[in-house]
Amino acid sequence: MYGGSLENRCRFALEIVQAVVDEIGADRVGIRLSPFASYSEAPDSNPEALGLYMAKALNKFGILYCHVVEPRMVKINEKFETPYSLRPMRDAFKGSFIVAGGYNRKDGNNAIFSGYADLVAYGRLFLSNPDLPRRFEVDAPLNKYNRETFYISDPAVGYTDYPFLGSDI
């Protein structure tokens, strides 16, 4: 029931969405998808079809948002490119569409202004810049994040020790 065909691979996630919508209402439900992920060396055989199928299937629930992680860039002929786009998913999904994955201020603004997304999530940049909206507003330099401090249990290192902008900006 839960493997093999595209429909079966999506079945479990859609059953969970249905159960949560039934419990709390579609207006309080969102989902984050990573169809292009290849964690644990287990990529999907057709991530574009997977993402598009999920985007279309989620419409029947009327959920609030679909938050999707961009495909990773790959090195092709000495430059980095992404062979995939979230555009088909964006066009298919009828709710708010949130994108994430390597966006900076300019890329995020372009995603919104072009209609590629309704919202942009800035995970790593927000971790390292607790005042990210202000930095974007005044076009201030950004703190660089330290990947080595992600997901560690030390409460004083990593997520809480990045500096804010000075009061003079």
Phi then psi dihedrals of residue 141, to 5 deg: -65, 155
Cα distances from 39 to residues 34, 35, 65, 150, 151, in angstroms, run 10, 11, 24, 17, 16
Average pLDDT on 2-28 reads: 96
Kind of pairing between the strands at 65-69 and 96-100: parallel
In total, the chain counts a number of residues equal to 169
pTM, 2 dp = 0.87
Mean pLDDT over all residues of the chain?
90
User: Coil, strand, or helix at residue 88?
Assistant: helix
Instruction: Give residues with Cβ within 8 angstroms of 158, minimum separation 6.
Output: 127, 146, 149, 150, 152
Identity of residue 119: L
**pLDDT of 37:** 87
**pLDDT of 168:** 55
Determine which helix (DSSP H) or strand (DSSP E) holds 95, and give its type and residue range.
none
DSSP 161: -
**pLDDT tens-place string over residues 57-78:** 999 999 999 999 988 655 455 5
The answer, yes or no, to whether residue 34 has pLDDT greater than 90, is yes
